[in-house]
Structure 1
Amino acid sequence: MGLIYVDDIIVTGNDSKQLQLFTSKLNKTLALKDLGALSYFLGIEVVRDSSGMYLSQEKYVTEMLKKFNMVNLKPCPTPMTVGKSMFIEDGELLKDPTLYRSLIGGMQYLAHTRLDISFSVNKLSQFLKAPTTTHWSAVKRILRYSKGNIHHGLHIKYSERLTLTSFSDADWACCPDDRKSVAGYCIFFGDTLISLSSKKQTVVARSST
């Protein structure tokens, strides 16, 4: 099994001899540099122990803090303020929305391993057209939260229970601008989370049923 992104390749399998044979044949056609056991791929760090693998983006968060000159931000315990709704016209329009859009884009990639910020990033992505000072404060809060939990990530672990289990939920008309609902789901393969989504629905639900 392989994962290819431009000129970065991950090759994995349960037969070490076949893996070696595959890489040897590939090396005859393409110039390869074998970096050994997987430890870093496209900004995602990989650490192994007896329980499985941990995927995190500690270095990625650190680089984001430096890029946006927020290294000295104080950490906070939650990615969003509980019980506070976000409006389209909440606050004053930013003079230059480029920084906001760039930070949101970076956080969307961070959410690959930091699923705890998925809802918050999705919510703030809805204001990319005309972000305000309030939205900017909210996106900085996510970065503060990520800094305080910089080691958090995904745990891919061994399990004898190879079954698919899914959970789903939705609120009802939570968006004050268009009264649309947010639906979410997560899917586990054994004890490992393999898919998650938090997304606004495309229609207005007339009932919470």
Structure 2
Amino acid sequence: MFALKDLGPLYYFLGLEIYRDASGLYLNQGKYVLDLLKKFNMLDCAPVPTPMVTGRSFSISDGELMTNPSLYQKAIGSLQYLTSMRPDIAYSVNKLSQFLSRPTTVHFQGVKRILRYLKGTYHFGLHVKPLNSFWLMAFTDADWATDVDDKKSMARLCVYLGGTLVLWSSHKQRVISRSSTKSEYRALADGVVEVKWLNSLLFELGLML
């Protein structure tokens, strides 16, 4: 037996802020973002409208090697934790995390770009709405041969449960696709796997779709 204490409604946990009203729950990591900007001396930086420059493709050979790669690695690690509540930076963080072993000055500029984007959007988060209908809907997409080094495609996925975003991912596909159609079908197959898993989990919880 264990002694328990009721601390009231949840409002803050592990960097996650929770606000509740009649429309549901609002989840964000605003304080975590501000602490992150302060940690990397970017609290006074100028915000930008996007986390990555449109049309920019990072390569392993870009720029000069950083003299202190641990700074880059710490920044990426902190940003990866943030993607648990910010799907809008998932692609950018995933892309830059591919250069952890040999980060360059150009890659670090990409990290700074994400931090500048977060400066203007630190209040962004997720809205968990009450369920009027119980259904799963998934969207998948693929960017064919987007990696300039190995020509692999990037796949994206987002899954909604009754109108609320509950799962998302952005990752490089394991194999090289010889056409955009093949990369799209591979992304679709991965999405089906995730939906089937969620369906099985909800079934075990006694929740029928």
Measured against the shorter chain, the TM-score band is: 0.7 to 0.9
SS in 2 for 1:159: coil
Q: Which residue of 1 aligns with 2:184?
A: none
Structure 1 equivalent of residue 173 of structure 2: 201
Shift of residue 175 of structure 1? 0.3
Q: Distance in 1 between matches of 2:9 and 2:169?
A: 30
Name the residue aligned to 1:155: 127
Q: 2:38 pairs with 66, 75, 80, which one?
A: 66
| 1:93-120 alpha-carbon deviations (Å, 9 max, x no partner) | 0001001100100001111111100000
Aligned with 1:155: secondary structure? strand
Match of 1:135 in 2: 107
Equivalences for residues 74-89 of structure 1 within 5 A: 74-89=46-61
Which residues of structure 2 form unaligned runs of 5+? 182-209
Q: In the alignment, residue 174 of structure 1 is paired with which amino acid?
A: T
Alignment of 1:1-209 (within 5 A): 29-209=1-181
- Give distance in 2, aligned partners of 1:31 and 1:66: 38
| 1: CA distance, partners of 2:3 / 2:118 | 38
The alpha-carbon deviation at position 31 of structure 1 amounts to 4.2
2:143 and 2:95 mapped to 1: Cα distance?
A: 13
Aligned counterpart, 2:197: none
CA distance in 2, matches of 1:98, 1:91: 17
Counterpart AA for 2:149:
D
Paired AA for residue 60 in structure 2: I
Larger Rg, first or second structure (1 or 2): 1
The 1-side partners of 2:6 and 2:80 are apart by 30
TM-score, length basis structure 2: 0.84
1:128-179 alpha-carbon deviations (Å, 9 max, x no partner): 0100001001101101101101110011001312100011111110100000
* SS of residue paired to 1:154: strand
Flag the structure with higher helix content: 2
Q: Distance in 2 between matches of 1:96 and 1:31?
A: 47
Q: Percentage identity across aligned positions?
A: 57
What letter matches 2:172 in structure 1? K
Q: Which residue type is aligned with residue 161 of structure 1?
A: S
Q: Which amino acid aligns with 2:39?
A: K
The two structures have a TM-score, normalised by structure 1, of: 0.84
TM superposition shift of 1:30: 3.0
Q: For the residues of structure 1 that align with 2:125 and 2:22, how far apart are their CA atoms?
A: 17
Question: Equivalent residue of 2:45, what SS?
Answer: coil
Displacement after TM superposition at 1:34 (Å): 2.8
RMSD in angstroms over aligned alpha carbons? 0.9
C-alpha distance in structure 2 between counterparts of 1:32 and 1:165, whole Å: 38
| Aligned residue pair count | 181
Deviation at 1:33, TM superposition (A): 3.9
